[in-house]
Structure 1
Amino acid sequence: MAGNVSPDDAAIAIVGDDAVHRVEGLPGESGPVGLTLALGRLRTLGVTGWRVALPAAGHPLGLSGPPEFNARALEAEEAVVGFGAPYGLVPELYEAGPAGDVHTQVVWHCLAVREAPPADVPSLGEAERELAEALREATVALSRLDVAGSGPAAAAAIDAYRARAEGPDEEVLAPGYPPRAVRVLELARRVGLLVSLAYESGHGGAVSASEIAARGELLRPVERVARRARVAAYNAYVEERERG
């Protein structure tokens, strides 16, 4: 949307290993159209960038309305909101193909959005500070709870992830993003990995229902901080353009 790559190249990057992506409800079209055409059309309609929304129950993170769009985005738990023109896209995923060769197909529903500040999205500076604090607090608290996700196995998994992320083939964000956005996204991913390891460790050292509940109470706000930071990082390019 910023004009740095062609719609074809953007569509290839978006589709990845999925079978096909189509956009439904695009102004001027009577049915679903291919992603390349849709991106080009949305750009001519005035969309110059996208904000990411990652809403969850009770937390409309990144949304700006109206209610119909918010409801669909909450159901999907993700959406993108256009910058420059009032259009948003909400994905709907399908699985298709024979057993052993199943691919994901995506239909993006194009809907009107309200041009207003997105809900609960911090600045990059705020997100970075919140993440650093959440990582420290979660590590200490999980260690006290004797959760497997805070021990040497978690540290090894995080180090392995960081090695992959720092490799030459990993592009964290598209060209044009500020370096701070890359740092924030990497830290958000690291915090998210810690949370996932803690959840996936089963009961770990938590031997009672109260200890398991305590772990959940600890992880939920940390998870929320990580989601807010991811949205802040992905939206940084648009936010900088909006500031001029």
Structure 2
Amino acid sequence: MVSLPRSARLAAWGTAWLHSEASLDDVVDRVRADDEPHDAVDVPGTATATGLSEALVALRGEGTKAFLVALPAPGDPSGLGGPADLNGYAVDAGEAVISDGAPYALVPDVRTFGPPGDQGHLVTWMIRAAEPAPAGPSLADADKELTTSLLAAGSILTDLDVPSWRPEVEALLGDIRANRESDPLPRAFPPQAQAVAARAARLLAVVQFALGDDGGALTTSEATSRRSALTPLERASRSALAAACNALATR
């Protein structure tokens, strides 16, 4: 199963914890996955770096009622309400977690270490001042837009030759074509959110592989055509994934 972005995992599991549907240890374990233990800096009321669990407890004490994920991209600051410096950090990272109820956001700073094939990650969550997150599309609307974008991409997605040099994509394409189910979110999330999160995460991974490497495109024109067809699907996948991960906070 494709892994969700760290901020998506933190928003989903952190909100489940705030709703008494998960333990704090569950949140930390799900967010950390195979990383080294996560740190947090600039935590309210704390002068030094802390662990992620201490940061979440502090944010709850500041009034946080839920966490919302933002998955922005250059030119598309979706899910971000500002200020400008936060938007800049979040767009650079490609993700952020916005507190609902307190004027803060968390942005992960990820450092990779180790040789190829045996790499690890050091993750520090930077807590920054934030304006409230703008209202995003409903889960139903985001799912509909994802379906529309997938149909519009047409044969481009079906005919992707990415698996020829990115074998891991073949399994993702197989899952998408077979509509295989998975439960990437806490059990407290509604079934539609689970289904949309699984599909959006797989599509996002495939499209990002394709947009990040034009190795299979025979000509510049073909590469440009692929990018034009897949960019709207990438945007719709990010939007649908965010809507699914925010479903517990917004329902």
Fold match, TM over 0.5? yes
Q: 1:20 to 1:190 in 2, by over 3 A?
A: closer
Q: 1:115 to 1:198 in 2, by over 3 A?
A: closer
What whole-Å deviation, never above 9, does each CA across 1:167-188 have from its counterpart, x for those lacking one?
Answer: xxx5311122122212222231
1:31 aligns with 2:44: no
Paired amino acid for 1:148: D
Paired amino acid for 2:98: V
1:158–1:193 Cα contact (<8 Å) kept:
no
Q: 1:13 to 1:209 in 2, by over 3 A?
A: closer
Matches within 5 A, 1:115-126: 115-118=132-135, 121-126=136-141
Decide which of 149, 158, 171 is 1:134's aligned counterpart: 149
Secondary structure of 2:67's partner?
A: strand
Residue 29 of structure 1 and its aligned partner are, at CA, apart by 0.7
**Residue matched to 1:184:** 196
Greater radius of gyration (CA): 1
CA–CA separation in structure 1 for the residues paired with 2:174 and 2:59: 40
Matches within 5 A, 1:220-235: 220-235=231-246
Paired amino acid for 1:174: P
How many residues align structurally?
Answer: 231
Residue 96 of structure 1 and its aligned partner are, at CA, apart by 4.3
Residue 79 of structure 1 and its aligned partner are, at CA, apart by 0.5
Decide which of 212, 221, 225 is 1:210's aligned counterpart: 221
Structure 1 residue runs of 5 or longer lacking an equivalent are none
> Which of structures 1 and 2 has the larger relative contact order (alpha carbons within 8 angstroms, sep 6+)?
2
1:20–1:104 Cα contact (<8 Å) kept:
no
Paired amino acid for 1:124: L
**Residue matched to 2:123:** 106
Q: Please report the RMSD computed on the Cα atoms of aligned residues, expressed in angstroms.
A: 3.0
CA–CA separation in structure 2 for the residues paired with 1:194 and 1:103: 23
- The worse-fitting range, judged by mean Cα deviation, of 121-130 and 90-99 is 90-99
1:73–1:90 Cα contact (<8 Å) kept:
yes
Q: 1:183 to 1:19 in 2, by over 3 A?
A: same
- The worse-fitting range, judged by mean Cα deviation, of 184-193 and 66-75 is 184-193
What whole-Å deviation, never above 9, does each CA across 1:84-121 have from its counterpart, x for those lacking one?
Answer: 21211011012346887642111111111112525xx3
Paired amino acid for 2:134: P
- Report the identity percentage: 37
CA–CA separation in structure 2 for the residues paired with 1:156 and 1:99: 22
Paired amino acid for 2:222: E
Paired amino acid for 2:161: A
CA–CA separation in structure 2 for the residues paired with 1:94 and 1:77: 14
Q: 1:66 to 1:7 in 2, by over 3 A?
A: same
TM-score by length of 1: 0.81
CA–CA separation in structure 2 for the residues paired with 1:4 and 1:32: 27
Residue 26 of structure 1 and its aligned partner are, at CA, apart by 0.7
What whole-Å deviation, never above 9, does each CA across 1:186-214 have from its counterpart, x for those lacking one?
Answer: 2313433552564578554x533222211
1:92–1:107 Cα contact (<8 Å) kept:
yes
**Residue matched to 1:7:** 24
